[in-house]
């Protein structure tokens, strides 16, 4: 990586961290405007709609900041959708923060003569969205979340700060349709960006665990002086390094589908366990709302479900076996 590229990515990371902090007290639509003003929603989007037309290597530090700061906004979905929509007017609305957008990650809607029916789920913050991308048998369709034939109801996710919603469609009009290739690209991009977000959460929780055990005293000694706890934090550090290495490897192979899947698989293999360990190091305090450990864990579990982590591990294992048969 050149010095210029490294500096540019560091600048994106700093901007993203500042924007996430600034969004903490804002309502969703104000968050959209703030993130748009910072240039984050349009990182991947076409320049014709106000985007920056940069690659996933620039989106990764943004999602790392999202995971570290527990941003309650579907930025991952907004970035990927704005990119997939190309030069369509809906992309410009998303990039400029004029419309909030999300993606339903589970289920399939039926599409006939431009109308959608059925129920899809796992749409982060679908209850505050203007636009929702819903999967279909052959691709996906974009719908107006406030239009006729569309109703939103609470889903069953764990994340209370970016709640998942179900989208019930009864003859809703499709604003536009994406083909299977475009939807596959969204899914692969989401794998890498979720891995980055999980990595951010792990590093934040590790830093909190180190700070807590360095100052908390038991039996006349700081907790960090006990070997078992140092070993636990060492394992958390290794988890963070595994995730970062998998992401870096995927970015070096931008056309390698399995590398992106492996990055997400690595993040889901180590991420939740590392955060659970950090939570336990905080004792009972780790389960309170004042300490964000369980909030990070809830978010990671939501990302795992949205990306079908369990199914991905099975498919990845089958692909590796087939490749080496």
Reported as a single tens digit per residue, the pLDDT across 21-73 is 998 889 989 999 999 999 999 999 999 999 999 999 999 999 999 999 999 99
Q: Which fold has domain 100-174?
A: Butyryl-CoA Dehydrogenase, subunit A; domain 2 (2.40.110)
| DSSP 8-class letter at 292 | T
Beta-sheet strand order (sheet of 139-144): 101-103, 131-135, 139-144, 176-179
Length of the chain: 325
Span 100-108, mean pLDDT? 97
Residue 129 has pLDDT above 90, yes or no: yes
Q: Are 165 and 305 in contact (CB under 8 A)?
A: no
pLDDT of residue 1: 61
Evaluate whether the domain defined by 182-323 bears CATH number 1.20.1270.360: no
pLDDT of residue 201: 96
CA distance 125 to 103: 9
pTM: 0.94
84: Cβ–Cβ under 8 A, 6 or more apart, which residues?
133, 178, 182, 183, 185, 186
CA distance 42 to 39: 6
Which residue's entry shows tokens 């949205």?
A: 306
What confidence tier does 135 reach under pLDDT thresholds 50, 70, 90?
very high
What are the C-alpha distances in Å from 133 to residues 87, 99, 294? Answer: 16, 13, 29
Question: Over the chain, what is the mean pLDDT?
Answer: 92
Which residue's entry shows tokens 């590796």?
A: 320
Q: Which residue has the higher pLDDT, 128 or 228?
A: 128
Residue 7 has pLDDT above 80, yes or no: no
1-99 and 182-323 agree in CATH topology = no
- Give ∠ CA 140-145-147 in degrees, rounded to 5: 110
**Beta pairing class for 139-144 and 115-124:** unpaired
Beta bridge partners of 150: 169
Residue 325 has pLDDT above 70, yes or no: yes
What ranges do the domains of the chain cover?
1-99, 100-174, 182-323
Options 2.60.40.180, 1.10.10.60, 1.10.540.10, 3.40.190.10; which CATH number does 1-99 get? 1.10.540.10
CA distance 306 to 324: 29
What confidence tier does 125 reach under pLDDT thresholds 50, 70, 90?
very high
Least confident of 9-23, 83-97, 229-243: 9-23
Span 238-265, mean pLDDT? 94
CA distance 51 to 78: 12
What confidence tier does 316 reach under pLDDT thresholds 50, 70, 90?
confident
pLDDT of residue 2: 61
What confidence tier does 4 reach under pLDDT thresholds 50, 70, 90?
low
Reported as a single tens digit per residue, the pLDDT across 141-182 is 999 999 999 999 999 888 988 999 999 999 999 999 999 999
Percent of the chain with pLDDT over 90: 74
What are the C-alpha distances in Å from 3 to residues 8, 159, 293? Answer: 9, 38, 35
pLDDT of residue 117: 97
Reported as a single tens digit per residue, the pLDDT across 230-246 is 999 999 999 999 999 99
Helical ranges in the chain per DSSP H: 3-23, 28-37, 56-69, 75-84, 89-95, 180-215, 227-252, 257-281, 293-306, 309-323
CA distance 298 to 115: 35
């Amino acid at each position: 990586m050149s010095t210029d590229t490294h500096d540019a990515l560091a600048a994106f990371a700093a901007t993203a961290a500042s924007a996430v902090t600034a969004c903490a007290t804002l309502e969703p639509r104000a968050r959209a405007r703030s993130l748009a003003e910072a240039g984050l929603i349009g990182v991947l989007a076409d320049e014709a709609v106000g985007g920056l037309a940069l690659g996933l290597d620039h989106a990764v530090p943004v999602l790392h900041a999202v995971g570290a700061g527990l941003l309650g906004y579907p930025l991952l979905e907004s970035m990927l959708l704005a990119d997939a929509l190309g030069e369509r007017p809906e992309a410009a609305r998303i990039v400029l923060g004029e419309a909030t957008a999300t993606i339903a990650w589970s289920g399939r809607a039926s599409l006939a003569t431009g109308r959608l029916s059925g129920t899809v789920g796992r749409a982060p913050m679908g209850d505050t969205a203007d636009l929702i991308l819903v999967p279909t048998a052959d691709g996906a369709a974009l719908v107006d979340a406030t239009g006729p034939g569309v109703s939103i109801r609470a889903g069953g996710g764990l994340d209370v700060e970016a709640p998942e919603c179900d989208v019930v469609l009864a003859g809703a009009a499709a604003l536009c349709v994406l083909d299977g290739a475009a939807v596959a690209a969204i899914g692969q991009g989401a794998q890498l960006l979720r891995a980055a977000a999980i990595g951010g959460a792990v590093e934040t929780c590790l830093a909190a665990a180190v700070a807590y055990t360095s100052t908390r005293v038991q039996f006349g000694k700081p907790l960090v002086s006990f070997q078992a706890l140092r070993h636990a934090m060492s394992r958390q550090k290794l988890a963070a390094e595994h995730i970062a290495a998998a992401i870096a490897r995927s970015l070096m192979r931008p056309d390698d589908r399995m590398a992106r899947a492996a990055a997400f698989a690595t993040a889901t293999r180590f991420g939740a366990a590392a955060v659970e360990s950090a939570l336990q190091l905080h004792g009972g305090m780790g389960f309170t709302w004042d300490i964000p450990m369980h909030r990070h864990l809830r978010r990671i579990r939501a990302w795992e479900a949205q990306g079908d982590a369990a199914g991905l591990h099975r498919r990845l294992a089958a692909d590796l076996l087939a490749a080496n048969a």
